[in-house]
Homo-oligomer: A and B are copies of this chain.
Amino acid sequence: MKKVKIATIGGGSSYTPELMEGFIKRYDELPIKEIWLVDVEEGKEKQEIVGAMAQRMWDASPYDVKIYTTLDREEALKNADFVTTQFRVGQLNARIKDERIPFSYGMLGQETNGAGGMFKAFRTVPVILSVVEDMKRLCPDAWLINFANPSGMVTEAVLRYGKWDKVIGLCNVPVMAKMGESKALGVPKEDLIYKFAGLNHFHWHKLADKNGQDITKKLIDTLYEEGSGLPKNIFDIPFYKEQLMQMNMIPCGYHRYYYREEEMLKHGLEEYENEGTRAQQVKQIEHELFELYKDPELDYKPKQLEERGGAYYSDAACETIASIYSNADTEIVVSTRNNGAVPDLPDDCAVEVTAYIGAQGARNVAFGPLPTAEKGWLQVMKAMELLTIEAAVTGDYGTALQAFTINPLIQSGDTAKRIMDELFIAHKNYLPQFAETIERLEKEKVTIKDPIANQLSKEG
């Protein structure tokens, strides 16, 4: 059995210890030899801290695995078997700007599918495409396992513009939903049958008991008694029960942004005005995590990491990698090429669905057509995704404006356009494809209203 080389782009992420834990747990199915953490200059310090911590974790295990840290992506990718991507272009400061600039005008930034997520895509898509180009040269048989957000758009970009099929996008939302619902119903996870369909951070699921009886409505009833297994990073605002009963599906937690936009906005604005946006809170948590990681005695994943919000992301990635390696046909919810599984969307676009993961990657479970409302939502969100990615690739301002306008979380008009313009200015260093636009906006003296975002932008 060939020993495995893993390359992790964005190696300095605070999630790396969870990734290590996941690999250690699965060493028997996935015999790793070496793990290469690679990051950019500005993440070097964090990567050193987390790299040392990672090595300690392996040293405390029975397995002989070597951790390498490097700033040289080519060295890391060379002959890798699996490449995981968890990088964040512009670090957490970029996300702070993504969130604060819209909030400063009373609008949601929403770091996955909202204005913030779109700019995250603008920054991330060119980088992931350059990673793919490197992989074509350096490790053409490797799988790309992405959990950089917006994970669905990144997967779509890799498939559509990178022309790279061996990609799987991951997300912890379905994992969290299954855990929460199992607990809510008092039924072991293994005794529930799930079928997910949709897009990343925008999917629905149905479930059945072990006899195959659909119990989606029973779960809805239960959720209105007990709480909903919602990921920690979304404020707990319940869906309208009549709406869930009509769709006879369970939305993902992020659907609150679409089904309860008013309240989600209100909550976000309160945070913005008081304790700071989610990104600011995360920055504080991360700071504390890295303080912990520095402890030369710490050789296990600290409990505090779970508060970080993305728990189980890395675990899902490890599970996926192990399933590919050992051809295990494990059932996992992933972002992957549609191939008809969601017939309301084109065959060749990325979707997030229940799939069986084996040596050939994802074998998507065909979900069949969705009901009218969910079909409409999927189609408009996929249009938004495709326009965002197209703008990320072409740097065209009109396309970016079209993407903003069709985004259901953005109220079109001058304020939205102003927010977009400020975001271009704020992320100047990470958006070379939009250089012409940014130059124009600078000439027009567009400035950033939010003082914190403005300060961060000045710092680069």
Contacts and interface: CB of A to CB of B under 8 A. Distances in A.
Interface of A: 193, 195, 208-212, 214, 240, 242-243, 245-247, 258-264, 324, 327, 329, 331, 337-343, 347, 354, 356, 358-361, 363-369, 372-373, 375-377, 379-380, 382-384, 386-387, 390, 396-399, 401-403, 405-406, 408, 411-417
B387 A383 contact: no
A-B pairs, 4 with minimum CB distance:
A376-B383, A262-B413, A246-B398, A212-B359
Contact of A261 (B245, B263, B384, B413): B413
Contact of A208 (B359, B365, B366, B368): B359
Contacts of A246: 396, 398-399, 401-402
Given A262-B413, A412-B261, A413-B262, A212 B361 contact: yes
A193 B362 CA distance: 12
A418 to B, nearest CB: 10
A164 to B, nearest CB: 15
Nearest to A397: B242
A281 B121 CA distance: 46
A240 B361 CA distance: 31
A240 B417 contact: yes
Contacts of A242: 397-398, 401
A30 to B, nearest CB: 14
B359 A365 contact: no
A245 B398 contact: yes
A193 B358 contact: yes
A319 to B, nearest CB: 16
B382 A376 contact: yes
A380 B377 CA distance: 6
Contacts of A411: 261-262, 411
11 contacts: A210-B327, A212-B361, A242-B398, A246-B402, A261-B412, A339-B343, A340-B368, A343-B343, A366-B366, A373-B383, A373-B402
Contacts of A412: 258-262
Given A384-B376, A398-B245, A360 B193 contact: yes
Contacts of A210: 327, 359
Contacts of A361: 212
Copies in the complex: 4
A401 B402 CA distance: 27
A343 B369 CA distance: 12
Contact of A402 (B193, B208, B247): B247
Contact of A413 (B260, B386, B416): B260
A141 to B, nearest CB: 9
Contact of A383 (B212, B375, B405): B375
Nearest to A360: B212
A208 to B, nearest CB: 5
Contacts of A214: 360
A38 B360 CA distance: 44
Given A212-B327, A243-B405, A361-B212, A376 B373 contact: no
A112 B279 CA distance: 40
A377 B406 contact: yes
Contacts of A399: 246
Contacts of A398: 242-243, 245-246
B327 A262 contact: no
B258 A405 contact: yes
Contacts of A414: 260, 262-263
A343 B338 CA distance: 10
B365 A356 contact: yes
Contacts of A212: 324, 327, 358-361
A368 B339 contact: yes
Contacts of A340: 340-343, 366-369
A363 B413 CA distance: 36
Nearest to A351: B366
Contacts of A363: 195, 354, 365-366
A195 to B, nearest CB: 7
A402 B373 CA distance: 7
A9 to B, nearest CB: 22
A70 to B, nearest CB: 27
Nearest to A329: B331
Contacts of A358: 193, 212
